[in-house]
Structure 1
Amino acid sequence: MIAYDNVFLPIKDVQGARVFSVRFLSEPFAIATGTAVEFEDPDGNRLCFTEYTKTNVEGLI
């Protein structure tokens, strides 16, 4: 479950982020607009990569 206070960073390939030795907190998962994955930066801050692949999602601006 994504925490609502996360910073979301758009990325073209969520799976490709693994090449940067990012420590994922879970496996990538589907969201209404595409795919997301939470990770921690070297300072322990929780962030979220988001791959926006879906458009025209009802209820979203």
Structure 2
Amino acid sequence: MLELRPSCEHCNKALPPASLWKGNNFLGNNPASTNIKHRPVDPATHAQFSAAIRGIPPERR
């Protein structure tokens, strides 16, 4: 289970509740829904991503 933290893991700087880490991707713009959306993943991109973190134990990710 992930632990929610109100600060940056790297510098311990407080994060504002409305921080946008990935563009305009936040609940205010995209509210939660019960509708299922199909979002296909590019296998090559996912393989590259998973290879980068595969050697890191889950508790250290």
> TM-score normalised to the size of structure 1?
0.21
Larger radius of gyration: 2
More helix by share: 2
Higher relative contact order (CA 8 A, sep 6+): 1
> TM-score normalised to the size of structure 2?
0.21
More strand by share: 1
